[in-house]
Amino acid sequence: MIEAPDRAYLAALCLARAGLRVDPEKSYLIESRLAPVARREGFVSPQGLVGALRGRSDDRLAWAAVEAMAMSDTEFFRDRPVFDRLSAEILPELARSRGGAPVRVWSVGCGTGQEVYSLAMILADLPASAGPWDLLGSDLSERNLEKAQAGLYSQFEVQRGLPARALVRHFEKKGEGFALSPQIRQMVRWRRVNLLDDLSSFGRFDLVLCRNVLSGLAPEAHTRVRTSLMQALAPGGRLVIGLRDTLGGSFKALAPGLGLYAAA
């Protein structure tokens, strides 16, 4: 059992470092998210891990704990109608309006990569005249990014949302898992980015996907990230949020049921 003061400490750490809303009362959730990190780092229990965090300043360990506390569920073509709309309408339109200049796409909080790879698979099917495409995937978690970059998924993961036709077209069996083709993997660049940081150095994007990230943030962090996202959108750009995420008034809803927005 992690004691209440330690849970409060952990919640404060997650809030300060990543803007994460962690309920210190949810001891079971906290234990189960920290248990794998504790094991990996050689602690006998999650309690031991939090104790060590409080006892010494170990930046790497603190980040490992924070990253583990973020929700990380994802799947290929999550909320399929969103991708249908992107592929039939949004992406071709963006390509047209850019007139041959690169269309810049950013998956913010990309998790283990399924979201941005789903886009890459769609783009591989668009006529070569559309594009070029510049895809960036970023996440807080180094572990998520490593997995994303490797493009290696379990049998379970490739059955969540990924059509069998896309599996046979873009993957190869590798051991027990499935490896995404180099062609698709090469379409994406990766970067560790904390959404609380200043994002202006990344420039502006024609399409930003920030799905199922906002709903995990505390109010002040939410406000801050919303402003950053607004500034990251190029004129005429589009923002997609998750179906459970909410967004304030500074954006114009294009298809709220799909989480699709434009800068107002």
Partner 1 sequence: MKTCLVVDDSPVIRKVSRRILEDLGFEVAEAANGVAAMAWCDAMMPDVILLDWRMPEMDGLEVLRRVRASRGGSVPQVIFCSGETEIERIREALEAGADEYIMKPFDGAIVAGKLQSLGLLQVRAA
Contact residues toward partner 1 (CB under 8 A) are: 75, 77-81, 155-156, 159-161, 163-165, 167-168, 171-173, 212, 242-244
For residue 262, which phi and psi values (nearest 5 degrees)?
A: -125, 160
Neighbours of 167 (CB within 10 A): 16
228-248 CB burial, b ≥16 within 10 A, e <16: bbbebbbeebbbbbbeebebe
Partner from ligand SAM, partner 1, none binding residue 172, C-beta < 5-8 Å depending on class: partner 1
Which residue lies nearer to ligand SAM by CB, 54 or 192? 192
Neighbours of 140 (CB within 10 A): 25
Which residue lies nearer to ligand SAM by CB, 18 or 184? 18
Taking the complex as a whole, how short is the minimal distance between the CB of residue 107 and partner 1, in angstroms? 17
User: 183 CB contacts (<8 Å, ≥6 apart)?
Assistant: 124, 170
Partner from partner 1, ligand SAM, none binding residue 19, C-beta < 5-8 Å depending on class: ligand SAM
Give which of 109, 105, 124, 101 is closest to 78, Cα–Cα: 109
Which residue lies nearer to ligand SAM by CB, 237 or 242? 242
- Judge whether 1 and 50 are in contact, CB under 8 Å: no
Which residues, listed in sequence order, are joined to residue 205 by a DSSP beta bridge?
233
Which residue lies nearer to partner 1 by CB, 51 or 177? 177
Q: CA 114 to CA 118: how far, in whole Å?
A: 6
Taking the complex as a whole, how short is the minimal distance between the CB of residue 195 and ligand SAM, in angstroms? 4
Taking the complex as a whole, how short is the minimal distance between the CB of residue 101 and ligand SAM, in angstroms? 26
Taking the complex as a whole, how short is the minimal distance between the CB of residue 224 and partner 1, in angstroms? 25
132 prior amide bond cis, ω within 30: yes
Give which of 153, 196, 160 is closest to 178, Cα–Cα: 153
Partner from ligand SAM, partner 1, none binding residue 161, C-beta < 5-8 Å depending on class: partner 1
Taking the complex as a whole, how short is the minimal distance between the CB of residue 194 and partner 1, in angstroms? 25
Which residues, listed in sequence order, are joined to residue 262 by a DSSP beta bridge?
238, 252
Taking the complex as a whole, how short is the minimal distance between the CB of residue 164 and partner 1, in angstroms? 4
Partner from partner 1, ligand SAM, none binding residue 159, C-beta < 5-8 Å depending on class: partner 1
Partner from ligand SAM, partner 1, none binding residue 44, C-beta < 5-8 Å depending on class: none
Give which of 237, 222, 253, 185 is closest to 109, Cα–Cα: 222
Q: CA 246 to CA 132: how far, in whole Å?
A: 31
| Residues near ligand SAM (CB under 6 A) | 18-20, 70-74, 78, 109-111, 115, 139-141, 144, 193-196, 211-213, 216, 242
Taking the complex as a whole, how short is the minimal distance between the CB of residue 209 and ligand SAM, in angstroms? 7
Partner from ligand SAM, partner 1, none binding residue 70, C-beta < 5-8 Å depending on class: ligand SAM
Partner from ligand SAM, partner 1, none binding residue 72, C-beta < 5-8 Å depending on class: ligand SAM
